[in-house]
Amino acid sequence: MTDVTIVMPVYNEEACICDVLDTWLTELGRLNISFMLIVLNDGSKDHTADALEKYSSAANITIINKQNSGHGPTILQGYKLAVKNSAWVFQVDSDNEMEARHFEKAWNQRKGQDAVIGIRDGRIQPLPRKVISAVSRLIVRVFYGSGIVDANCPFRLIKADILRPILDIIPENTFAPNVAIAGFLVRNRRSICNVPIPHNDRQTGEVSIKKWKLFRAAVKSCLQIIRISFIR
């Protein structure tokens, strides 16, 4: 069993994915912990799969090239693999908006905690995304309880044995499973540490959901999170 398994969904990140993975491998090696990095290529339309071929024989990386199913279902797939053979599960996105060098801060906060959830510090959002983030926080507080500042932050460390039963509850097609996971952590009165993590602007690629598509996705996500809250 490893100390931690990192779940990293990837979509159209050929420009940066090798630099991101190399940085994470260096940082995790420096910390002298046993780890596995699960990289899930969610049907990228660029040359991400070709870039990932570089790591096909790496001992500490599992590369999964899959058909596109969306960010949420991809995260859930990675989580379900990660909880099988690891004490802790960490999720981070592949866009380098939250850098590997900050992982040590979260890792050092884990003692006595069931989860360490990042707070995106310095994040600059357009107004529509600010509204969506605010609504997500409100839904978690109303339908689950308070205790997590940034419910959808993609920089989170959770005990595998705490995460495992939550995954059994969340439907596979959930658009924003991290919000639901945050809600169940609060509802179940788990010990949670909120840690500010510096957030950078995206340097490569572009967000895949925007404008009207973003609004529709937000509505879908909110309805799902509310519906999931009634599952016991």
pLDDT tens for 54-65 read 999 999 999 999
Whether residue 63 contacts residue 34, with contact meaning beta carbons closer than 8 Å, is answered with no
Percent residues over pLDDT 70 in the chain: 94
pLDDT category of residue 211 using cuts at 50, 70 and 90: low
pLDDT category of residue 130 using cuts at 50, 70 and 90: confident
Output Rg (C-alpha) for the chain, integer angstroms: 17
As a whole number, mean pLDDT of residues 123-142 equals 81
pLDDT category of residue 80 using cuts at 50, 70 and 90: very high
> pLDDT digit string (tens) for 198-209?
999 866 655 555
Joined tokens for residue 106: 């979260």
Global pTM reads: 0.93
As a whole number, mean pLDDT of residues 115-139 equals 84
Burial status of residue 54 (CB atoms within 10 A of its CB: 0-12, 13-18, 19 or more): middle
Task: Name the residue among 101, 84, 106 with its Cα closest to residue 156.
Answer: 106
Percent residues over pLDDT 90 in the chain: 81
> pLDDT digit string (tens) for 134-191?
888 888 999 999 999 999 999 999 999 999 999 999 999 999 999 999 999 999 999 9
Q: Which domains does the chain have, with CATH numbers?
A: 2-229 (3.90.550.10)
Alpha helices in 85-126 (DSSP H): 103-108
